[in-house]
Each structure stands twice: as structure tokens, then as C-alpha cells.
Amino acid sequence: METWLNSNPGNTLRIQGKVIACDVRNALIDSVQDFNMASEPSAKILTIENTTKISELRKAFCGDTQIVPFAVLTIARSTLNNAGEEMPQTWTSEAQMRQNLLAEAQAQGLAVSEQAIFPNRWYIKMTNQILDLPKGWLPMYLLFLGYPDGLNYGNEYFDLKTKRETRGKDWID
């Protein structure tokens, strides 16, 4: 897995194993309810609360077994392209759902660890093996959610960035 630091420290927060309150989980699910109301939705979410499944996913995609209480997988209805490869019918609905989920997670004070699944065929295969996804649906994005528990990686980068912004660009510890 490629590790990189972006300018949003929220994406690098370590997640506590503490169970997420029911009202917080419901708010996350409600944030994408409009997408699931269509008679033929092009994108959906699957909530994952089974800690064994979450640990398997964490080990496969993140290389760790950090205990995370809740995960959400966005899936898109699939179709075959001219080469016979499975592709999402649309990207738009899934991207909007993911954006709503991330905004609601931030509003609820949750930390999120994100993993893109599509277009990596190995990630798609692993997700299907672990979760036994329904036919005709393609896993797109996996979000591990929980209450924040400090910075996981990149702490030095953010500390240095903050110190340089407050004490000058040439500041050295």
C-alpha cells in the first residue's frame, strides 16, 4: 500500500476500538439514504460491524490488525466493458455517497481511514473473498471509521508544518 501524507491531518488519525454510538452510525447511514431510495440504485453502501471481517480487511489492505469498530464499503452497479472487464456503470453516485459519508463522519467527530478498492483487481478480489459481495456490484471504496486516538503516521510532518507556519519557514528544532 502506498503511504503518503496529504494536507489533511484528519486522514491520518489512528482509530480507537471503542464502539460507535447507534445514533452516530444511524447519522452516517442517513447521510446516504437518498441514494438507496431509488428503485434501481446505481450505488449503495454496505455497513460492516463484524470485527473479524474488519480485521481481515485491515490486514489485507493496511497491513495491520488495528481494532476498528465500524467500516463502510461503497459499491457500484457493474457492467462489462468491450474487453469483458467489470466496470462501474457510473462513478457519480458512488462519489457523491462517499463525499456525504466523509462529511457526516467529520461532523460526528470520527476519524476515517480510507482505501480505494477499484480499479485494483487484487483489492476487488480480496474484498469479494472476505465479504462475499452480491453479484452485479463492484466494490469501490472502503472507509474504516471510529473515534480518533491521535495521529497514526505523519505526526512529525504536521508538527513541523505547524512550527514552520508559526515560527518561520527556516525554523529548525
pLDDT beyond 60 at 143 = yes
What does the pLDDT look like over 93-110, one tens digit per residue? Answer: 889 989 999 999 988 988
3-state secondary structure 36-47: HCCCCCCEEEEE
Helical (H) or strand (E) element with 105: helix 92-107
DSSP, res 68 = -
Instruction: In whole angstroms, give the CA distance from residue 117 to residue 139.
Output: 6
- Among candidate residues 93, 85, 86, the one with its CA nearest the CA of residue 35: 93
pTM of the model: 0.76
In this predicted model, what pLDDT tens digit does every residue of 74-133 receive, in sequence order?
999 999 999 988 999 888 888 998 999 999 998 898 888 888 999 888 999 999 999 999
Judge whether residue 19 has pLDDT over 50: yes
Cα angle 63-111-43, degrees, rounded to a multiple of 5: 80
Asked if 111 and 73 touch (Cβ cutoff 8 Å), the reply is no
The least confident of 29-33, 44-48, 166-170 is 166-170
Cα separation, 20 vs 111, whole angstroms:
11
